Amino acid sequence: MTFRCAAFGLVAAAFVSAALFFAGSARAEARAEEESGIPGGEVTEARGELAEREYASVNERCLRCHGMATLSYQDPTTQKTVSLAVDPEKFATSNHARMTCTNCHQDDYIEYPHVKKADRASLTCLGCHRADKKTSRFRIPIFDDVGRQFRRSVHYKALPETFDCFSCHDPHVFEVLTAEAGPAAVVNSDNAICLKCHNSQPRFSALTRHEFPSLKQAHSWLPSPSMHWRSVRCIECHTPRGGNDINHEIVRGEAVERNCVACHTKDSALLTRLYRHRVKEERQVSGLFASMLNNEAYIVGMTRSPDVDALSFFLIGSTVLGLGGHGLLRWLARRRRRS
Amino acid sequence: MTRRLLLYPLWLRLWHWVNALLFLSLLVTGVSLHFGSQAIPFATARQVHNISGLMLAVGWAFHVVASIRSGNVRHYIPRWKGLAGDVIRQARFYGVGIFRDEPHPFPPTAERKFNPMQQVTYLAVVYVLMPVLIVNGIVFMVPDLAVDVFNYGAIWLVAGLHYLVALFLFLFMLGHVYLATAGETVTSEFHKMTRGWVDVEEKGDE
Amino acid sequence: MSESERRHSRRGKAWAIVAAIILGVAALSPWLYPMAFEAYTGVVNGPLTYESSHKVSDREFETVAEQLTHGARLKRAQEVTAGEADDFARGRKTDMLMSTRSFAASGQFPHIGYFRDAGIRGYDGPSTCLKCHETIVVRDLDGEKKIVNTLDDVIESVHYKFQHTASGFTTFGYDGREVNSKDTRPIPVGKIDRACGIPGSFSWTGWAALIDTKPAEAKGATVVRSEGCGQCHIGGGYHPATEKMMPIGDVPKEAKMGVDCLICHSQAYDMNQRYVIKDEAGMRWNQDRSLKAALAVTLPSRDNCLLCHQHNMGGDAFAENVSAKNLGHTNQRILHEGAKRGNPFSASTDVHAAAGLVCTDCHVPEGHKIPRGTKGTDLVANDLPGREVACENCHTTAPHSKSADRVLLNGHVDRIACETCHIPHLQDYSVVLRDWTHPVWNEKEGLYSFRDVYQSGEAGKGFTFLWFNGYGTFLANALGNNPAGGTGYNPLMDQMVKIDDPAAIAAIRAQVEEMKKQNPDIDVDQYVKEATNPLLALSPEMLEKRAKWVEEKIRPLMNKGKSRLYPFKLFNARMYEDMSNQGPFGAMILPFDYAVYYETGDTLAAMTKAIQNPIVKRMYELPFKTYMMDEFMNYFGVDSWSNEYPLKDGKLRNVEAHWMRQMGTLMVNHGIQRKGRTCRECHSETGILDYARLGYSPQRVRELQNPPELANRQ
């Protein structure tokens, strides 16, 4: 008998999952058509100034050599292999794909052999992405605070000389993932930036003499740490709350607030940061299971459907009312019988 | 003549009341977690919910084993033949008869302590909903493993089912508590579940 | 006794007899199986004795030891006495030092001491070695140690059995299946069962032969010479390790005792001991089992490997080939003209050899298993598949550090293998086209020899550049494709089946006209056409099938992994083929009997003799067909093996002479030069890389032929 019941349970579960699946794929298709909402519209516009041909010819010319995956040399002093390669495929999908190489790298590089040495100091992200409207070439409002935030970060404080934007971000590859990618991909891609050093002793030690901290030990207080790493970006916790969704003020682990409810709540911090790409109406979209279907990540306390909640309240309420009514009737009947 | 039958042995009563307490604990902490409420701190709620859940699972397993070994399990198995009619009869009693002070259509016997409606409901609750809830809960407890076995998206299915089953169990609990007042007297059913025995009318047709 | 009792007892007796027979056969099988095997395959085994192996007195022992260490002791003593101004005094002091006990004991050969202490006064092959080295400690790549039986380790190595039934080949059949992979029925493959156009035979039919030659110098007298595959292979028996190919059974103990440990381990091995000897059982190769050689045992040095391997790299014609200078005290080995690869490994021709590297520095062994590397075009078994032997292991992917263009040069590493630039040419006598079917009389050696129709070590002629992803076809064609993809690069219909360099064609024509003098039946025009376009041997249907299979079955293999441009030595041979077993990519090659070939020049008679070898006959019978030949032919791109034996009632049938349907492409990785090619050697319209045929788009071809970066240079 229990077997029969179990079988019924399985069948029911299969129906539910099938329903979830179909609803989910339909939703994904709809989403694919939406505009991504990445900050960066200005870059695309700036592109328009360039003649298509010029763009193509400059970049092709550079990438003919710099597209070679092994374009590199061994630095005689550090003994390290320094790569000068740009992966053309990754560049093509990067946020800077529509720029010419010479937008950043000056024209001295056009001839081979290149006359001048690369002047890395002149190349900073904020050189273009400046807050000042007048001097900024490609102002992106969300970048306005980045410089200030960065200078308050643990990285800058510990390594003011050697740590810069490029320590984390490769502008030839950097790509803000779009909504289609989904939170799991966003988490993965953003965390990869941190893990490049924080999961590799050699890279970490190349930058600093600090003891290489064990990620596992440092996060031992956290329930299901690896689950969290797969679903949450490092910076959700390791930046002060309240900053914008690309807060660059990375704080050390000791300073991090261990507050579960910061994320595990309807007003989750993740909503304004990790899920920033999710357009609002999508988050609040009505319909049974809707929000379940739209997120690959399930977060206790955050990703719940208001409709399911409402339905629950309705069911509970009607049950209570029904039972109460029944009790009242019983009481009335009894009184009548007595009288 | 009436005979006093011990239909609810001590182990069963103990399980029942412990289970009831765990239900309450899970309900309160579960609601708190679900809404990310600060009323109970998240970490505390999580801890209590996890421990209560595990205890519920252990208790459930104990109940199933003990039921089978003691033969108590027979009370959960409806007589499939004519079941629909029996259930309707019982429903009619709750809908009409109870107001006219009619006798209970299926008074408890040594062979059948539950009425057909109880049988169907308890069967569903104890042998379908609770196992689903427990399995879901365990998957939740080891999400890393669950992600490997199922996949990332499957956690959604698990979460959804956990929630829905919990909701149904809560609805059941409401009904259950209310119907406990609908015995011979308002408190007779509570007596059954505290003292364990039932007075049974025996028809003298031997 | 009743009738039924009697019946019962009779039945009982019958069972007892059957059981006794089964038990008896089982008990005798260690003796019966080898007898059955020898009867079936025609191979023979026998006790192996060698003249050079004999016991010496203690006094002779010391004399040999002293000879061996003389050089080292002298050098060391001279270093000490160098300060002595007086010649006579210096000489006396040197002599005294050299003969002191500590000097004598500190020679470079520790086995002198071991043998002296253990009372070993003669060398008797493996049994002597195994007295102390019954097991050895082997360390795998992860540094994990294990203890293995030394003899088993050698017997299971490719050096001994030259085939594998296991997977681990980088070779794919023309049917698209990886040799001995999951979707195949594994068969023993390797050099043991592959007839080849370079030696003109294979190991079963060409293991050991004595040839009566009539050299001009001898003025009519007969001079006996040795020939055969066994001159290099370490198995010292009457045949290769044929037993190892069978699903059951093992090489007999007596054959295992023929393993030549010293050719790899002795620093005093005398190649003059390598010649064919004939005894009651048959013909086999002699070896150096002298005490002197045994005392000079060390880990293998470069010289050990090169005793055999210089043959396929530098060739016999290479001036520094030690073996070619020590042909035998008697029955001297026949020298071979032409070189298989033409890239000698020696201090004068290779930068690594000049730097003092030994072979095992790159080919890091695991016990007696030696890796070939993870790339390979040919069907040669590999002891350690998966173990990398690559330039990058030491040189990284940024190897250039001195040139002003170092960054750009390093950039090339992604597309161009190191060898492409750093092997600028091969030896001039590298053989490209070898014709076994039109022998010529060699006045000097007094024998009939094959004819190398074309030899060249020049880029674009003797070797070419092809995309290579590390895999090869069943007949040694490099697989790979232009990383941009597409079907523009199609070497199996282009580079590997066409010789179109005018200078090469002219050289071939000149050679063919020379051959015509001894072979009047040759039609020069037709011959040149066939030699430079082997696809002419295919019928239109076959040709169509070939083109189809290339796209359907081989193109996916070409697109596997990552391709880079590698240099490949080209090779083709004209041999007799069994046309009953022909497919779009070739037919079964038939071997020659060396004695008949060299002595009479009668190619058909030599081939007829060779295919009458029992084991070749067995190949044309059902058990062998089922066991391996069908699968073998599937790899060839033929549905099944035809058992039509090419010889019926003394007449040949379905036998034709052809060039293989495409040139083989042999990897060349030695003969590395420090200085690589210059930019313009490739980046010009007349460069060595034919970009269009390598699958580049016309625009890219123009760009590669004249990159703007080179505009400012001469």
The answer to the question of residue B42 being in a domain is: yes
C404 at A interface, C-beta within 8 A: yes
| Cross-strand bridge partners of residue C4 | none
User: How far is the CA of A51 from the CAs of A109, A111, A136, in angstroms?
Assistant: 20, 21, 21
Contact B30, B53 (CB under 8 A): no
Residue C304 is encoded by which pair of tokens?
A: 């050990």
Closest to C195 in 3D by CA, of C534, C571, C575: C575
pLDDT over 70 (residue B205): no
What the block records as the tokens of B118 is 């109880």
How many residues belong to chain A?
A: 339
Q: Between residues B149 and C581, which one has the greater pLDDT?
A: C581
What is residue C209's DSSP assignment?
E
Q: Do chains C and B touch (3 or more CB pairs under 8 A)?
A: no
Query: What's the CA gap between C497 and C190, in Å, rounded?
Result: 24
Q: In angstroms, rounded to a whole number, what is the distance separating the alpha carbons of residues A140 and A101?
A: 20
Instruction: Answer with the residue of higher pLDDT: C669 or A236.
Output: C669
Structure confidence at residue A289 (pLDDT): 43
What is the SS3 assignment for C585?
coil
Q: Is the pLDDT of residue A6 over 60?
A: no
* Contact criterion met (CB < 8 Å) for A316 and B174: yes
C413 touches chain A (CB under 8 A): yes
pLDDT for the residue A287:
40
Predicted pLDDT of residue B75: 85
CA–CA dist B59, B56 (Å, integer): 5
Tell me which of A110, A112, A115, A117 to substitute to probe the interface with C (most C C-beta atoms closer than 10 Å).
A112
Closest alpha carbon to A267 in B31, B159, B37: B37
Q: Which of C634, C475, C470, C497 is nearest to C558 (CA)?
A: C470
Question: Is there a domain that residue B204 lies in?
Answer: no
Q: What is the DSSP letter of B103?
A: P
| Per-residue pLDDT, C247 | 86
Tens digit of each residue's pLDDT (9 = 90 or more) over C368-415 = 999 999 999 988 899 999 899 999 999 988 999 999 899 999 999 999
Quote the CA–CA distance of C22 and C24 in Å, as a whole number: 5
Asked if C504 and C512 count as a contact pair (C-beta separation under 8 A), the reply is: no
Using pLDDT thresholds of 50, 70 and 90, give the confidence band for residue B166. Answer: very high
| CB-facing half-sphere around the CA of C500: CA atoms within 13 A | 7
Residues of chain C with pLDDT under 50: none
Going by the DSSP 8-state scheme, the letter that residue C332 receives in this structure is P
Residue with tokens 């003011």: A160
Q: Is the dihedral of CA C359, C361, C364, C369 positive or negative?
A: positive
C365: Cα separation from own chain's centroid: 18
| Segment 664-703 of chain C within 8 Å of chain A by CB | 703
Q: Which residues, 6 or more positions from A210, have their beta carbon under 8 angstroms from its beta carbon?
A: A158, A204
Please say whether the dihedral angle defined by the alpha carbons of residues A105, A108, A113 and A118, taken in this order, is positive or negative: negative
For chain A, what is the HEC assignment?
Answer: CHHHHHHHHHHHHHHHHHHHHHHHHHHHHHHHCCCCCCCCHHHHHHHCCCCHHHHHHHHHHHHHHHCCCCCEEECCCCCCEEECCCCHHHHHHCCCCCCCHHHHCCHHHHCCCCCCCCCHHHCCHHHHCCCCCCCCCCCCHHHCCHHHHHHCCHHHHHCCCCCCHHHHCCCCCCCCCCHHHHHHHHHHHHHHHHHHHHCCHHHHHHHCCCCCCCHHHHCCCCCCHHHHHHHCCHHHHCCCCCCCCCCCCCCCHHHCCCCHHHCCCCCCHHHHCCCCCCCHHHHHCCCCCHHHHHCCCCCCCCCCCHHHHHHHHHHHHHHHHHHHHHHHHHHHHHHHHHC
Residue A185 has pLDDT above 90, yes or no: no
Listed residue (C334, C151, C157, C160) closest to C240, CA to CA: C160
pLDDT tens readout for residues C563-591: 999 999 999 999 999 999 999 999 999 99
pLDDT value of position A243: 66
Q: Which chains touch C (3 or more CB pairs under 8 A)?
A: A
The number of angstroms, rounded, from the C-alpha of A82 to the middle of its chain's C-alpha atoms is 29
Query: Which residues from A are below 8 Å from C707, CB to CB?
Result: 64
Measured at the alpha carbon of residue A270, what is the angle toward residues A268 and A275, in degrees to the nearest 5? Answer: 125
Please give the mean pLDDT across all residues of chain B. Answer: 84
Six token digits for residue C486: 């597409």
Query: 3-class DSSP state for residue C197?
Result: coil
Which residues between 47 and 66 in chain A have a beta carbon less than 8 angstroms from any beta carbon of chain C? 61, 64-65
The domain spanning residue B142 has which CATH number? 1.20.950.20
Judge: C396–A81 Cβ closer than 8 Å, yes or no: yes
Q: Specify the DSSP element, H or E, that contains C452.
A: strand C447-455
Whether residue B205 is contained in a domain is answered as no
Closest chain C residue by Cα to residue A109:
C709
| Domain-wise residue ranges, chain A | 34-139, 145-304
Judged by a CB distance cut-off of 8 A, whether residue C709 touches chain A is yes
Mean pLDDT over residues B147-158, rounded? 65
Residues in a beta bridge with C146: C138
Mind spelling out the 3-state secondary structure of B85-101?
A: HHHHHHHHHHHCHHHHC
Q: Which residues of A touch B34 (CB under 8 A)?
A: 300-301, 304
Q: What percent of chain A has pLDDT over 90?
A: 13
Our measurement of the distance from residue B97's CA atom to the centroid of its chain's CA atoms, rounded to an integer in Å, reads 25
C706 touches chain A (CB under 8 A): no
Reply yes or no on whether the pLDDT at A1 is more than 50. Answer: no
Task: Tell me the residue length of chain C.
Answer: 714
Judging by beta carbons within 10 Å of its beta carbon (0-12, 13-18, 19+), is residue A226 exposed, middle or buried?
middle
- The structure tokens 């308002």 sit at B186
All residues of chain B having their beta carbon less than 8 Å from the beta carbon of residue A216 are: none
The answer to whether the Cβ–Cβ distance between A327 and B181 falls below 8 Å is yes
| pLDDT per position as a tens digit, C332-358 | 999 999 999 999 999 999 999 999 999
Q: Is residue B101 very low, low, confident or very high in pLDDT (cuts 50, 70, 90)?
A: confident
Distance from CA of A203 to the nearest CA of B (A): 28
Residue of B nearest to A13 (CA): B161
- Residues C178, C557: Cα–Cα separation, whole Å: 9
CB distance C198 to C403 below 8 Å: no
Residues 6+ apart with CB under 8 A from A1: B76, B77, B123, B127
* Among C410, C707, C709, beta carbon nearest to A70: C410
Domain count, chain B: 1
The residue type at A276: R
Which residues of chain C does A62 touch, with a Cβ-Cβ cutoff of 8 Å? none
- A321 CB-near residues (< 8 Å, 6+ apart): none
Using a CB–CB cutoff of 8 Å, tell me whether C405 touches chain A: yes
What's residue C27's pLDDT?
Answer: 81
Residues C50-90 have pLDDT tens digits of: 999 999 999 999 999 988 988 888 888 888 898 888 999 99
Cβ-based contacts of A76 with chain C (< 8 Å)? 401
Q: How far apart are CA C455 and CA B120, in angstroms?
A: 93
Cβ contact C410–A65 (<8 Å): no
From A206's Cα to the closest Cα of chain C, the distance in A is 20
Residue A113: asked if its preceding bond is cis (omega within 30°), the reply is yes
State the burial class of residue B139 (Cβ atoms within 10 Å of its Cβ: 0-12, 13-18, 19+). buried
Helix (H) or strand (E) holding C230: none
Helix spans in C168-326 (H) = 253-256, 262-265, 291-295, 302-313
H or E element in which residue C472 lies: strand C472-473
Residues of A178-187 as b/e, b for ≥16 C-beta within 10 angstroms?
A: bbebbbeebb
Q: How confident is the model at residue A30 (pLDDT cuts 50, 70, 90)?
A: very low
What value, to the nearest 5°, has the Cα angle with vertex C499 and ends C494 and C502? 130
Contact flag A260-B42 (C-beta cutoff 8 Å): yes
| Amino acid A276: pLDDT | 54
For C100-232, where are the alpha helices, taking DSSP H only? Answer: 101-105, 111-118, 126-132, 150-155, 158-161
Q: Which of C629, C589, C637 is nearest to C492 (CA)?
A: C637
Q: Give the separation between CA A115 and CA C87, rounded to whole angstroms.
A: 64
- In A, minimum Cα distance to B144 occurs at A227
Residue B27 has pLDDT above 90, yes or no: yes
Angle, vertex CA A100, rays to CA A94 and CA A103, nearest 5:
110
Neighbouring residues of C674: CB distance < 8 A, sequence distance ≥ 6: C351, C422
| Nearest partner of C395 among C376, C375, C422, judged by Cα | C422
Compute the distance between CA of residue C162 and CA of residue C190 in angstroms, rounded to an integer. 6
Q: Which domain holds residue B19?
A: 2-198
Chain A residues within an 8 Å CB radius of B78: none
| Structure confidence at residue B148 as a pLDDT band (50, 70, 90) | low
**Residue A41 pLDDT exceeds 60:** no
d(C-alpha C608, C-alpha C604), whole Å? 6
Chain C residue numbers with beta carbons less than 8 Å from the beta carbon of A68 are 408, 411-412, 414-415
The pLDDT score that the predictor gives to residue A226 is 78
